[in-house]
Amino acid sequence: GAGVSQSPRYKVAKRGQDVALRCDPISGHVSLFWYQQALGQGPEFLTYFQNEAQLDKSGLPSDRFFAERPEGSVSTLKIQRTQQEDSAVYLCASSVLGRTEAFFGQGTRLTVV
Amino acid sequence: AQTVTQSQPEMSVQEAETVTLSCTYDTSESNYYLFWYKQPPSRQMILVIRQEAYKQQNATENRFSVNFQKAAKSFSLKISDSQLGDTAMYFCGTYGGSQGNLIFGKGTKLSVKP
């Protein structure tokens, strides 16, 4: 596709349920970023991939959060045993290389009830 | 650790006037990039302007320009001839660290009034 695609756009999960959020980056983009954005706040960095290598996962808030990019293209952010504080918009971005323009997807709005 | 600070949570400006959004940052990197992104209510972040730290000349993109003060670690965004479509959240960001992660400030909500 022409841009970064995220699915689903909206997800409602019951507390304790596991969820998986998908990101399809722009073809050929080496770098991929995940962010968590609470309402009215800036994007908080979660993790960063260069191809299939997860170079930085310092922003993942707990061991319930896990991200992968096994073939260096599509990435999945998984949240286990969701809690209400996980409710946020999850943004994915990709770029050709680090330090260049990052292109963002529309995000996935996760609501935990 | 790298940080980005935007000290103005909200600003407003009259249509056709000029507004400046502030940003300060801290990084230990010698080679880094600075960005301003815009996030309209539809939510998708789009790049407004970027600046390479090694370039002394301030970047300009049509009505958008920056005032980059490297020694002061300041990177403000000036919007000239403000338009209603400029209403959005604006985020200042920087690449830092050898691994290249991109971090943002908390944002400034800009409202352009007719």
Q: Are the Cβ atoms of A41 and B106 closer than 8 angstroms?
A: yes
List, for residues B32-53, the tens digit of each pLDDT value: 889 999 999 877 899 999 998 8
CA distance A44 to chain B (A): 7
C-alpha to C-alpha distance for A87 and B8, rounded to whole angstroms = 25
The residues of B whose Cβ lies within 8 A of any Cβ of A are 6, 31-33, 35, 37, 42-47, 50, 91, 95, 97, 99-107, 109
Q: Are the Cβ atoms of B100 and A104 closer than 8 angstroms?
A: no
List, for residues A62-99, the tens digit of each pLDDT value: 999 999 999 999 999 999 999 999 999 999 999 987 66
Q: Are the Cβ atoms of B101 and A106 closer than 8 angstroms?
A: no
Considering only CB atoms, B95 lies closest to which of A43, A89, A98, namely: A98
Q: Burial of A57 by CB count in 10 Å (0-12 exposed, 13-18 middle, 19+ buried)?
A: middle
Find, in chain A, the residue whose alpha carbon is nearest to that of B50: A101
Tokens of A76: 């999945």
For residue A104, the chain B residues in CB contact (below 8 A) are 37, 44-46
C-alpha to C-alpha distance for B13 and A4, rounded to whole angstroms = 32
Confidence band for A2, pLDDT divided at 50, 70 and 90: confident
Decide: helix, strand or coil at residue A84: helix
Confidence band for B60, pLDDT divided at 50, 70 and 90: very high
Considering only CB atoms, B91 lies closest to which of A42, A45, A107, namely: A42
At residue A1, does pLDDT exceed 60? no
Q: Are the Cβ atoms of B100 and A48 closer than 8 angstroms?
A: yes
Give the pLDDT confidence score for residue A96 in this predicted structure: 87
Placement of tokens 């349920």 in the chain: A17
Give the pLDDT confidence score for residue B41 in this predicted structure: 86
Give the pLDDT confidence score for residue B97 in this predicted structure: 54
Q: If we measure between CA atoms, which residue out of A13, A9, A21, A10 comes closest to residue A112?
A: A13
Confidence band for B100, pLDDT divided at 50, 70 and 90: low
C-alpha to C-alpha distance for A75 and A31, rounded to whole angstroms = 11
* Mean pLDDT value of segment A10-28: 97
List the end-to-end C-alpha distance of chain A, in Å, as a whole number: 33
Three-state secondary structure along B82-96? Answer: CCHHHCEEEEEEEEE
For residue A106, the chain B residues in CB contact (below 8 A) are 42-44
Give the up-direction half-sphere exposure of residue A85: CA atoms within 13 A in the CB hemisphere. Answer: 4
Give the pLDDT confidence score for residue B96 in this predicted structure: 64
CA distance B17 to chain A (A): 25
Spell B31-57 as b/e; 16+ CB within 10 A means b: ebbbbbbbbeeebbbeebbbbebeeee
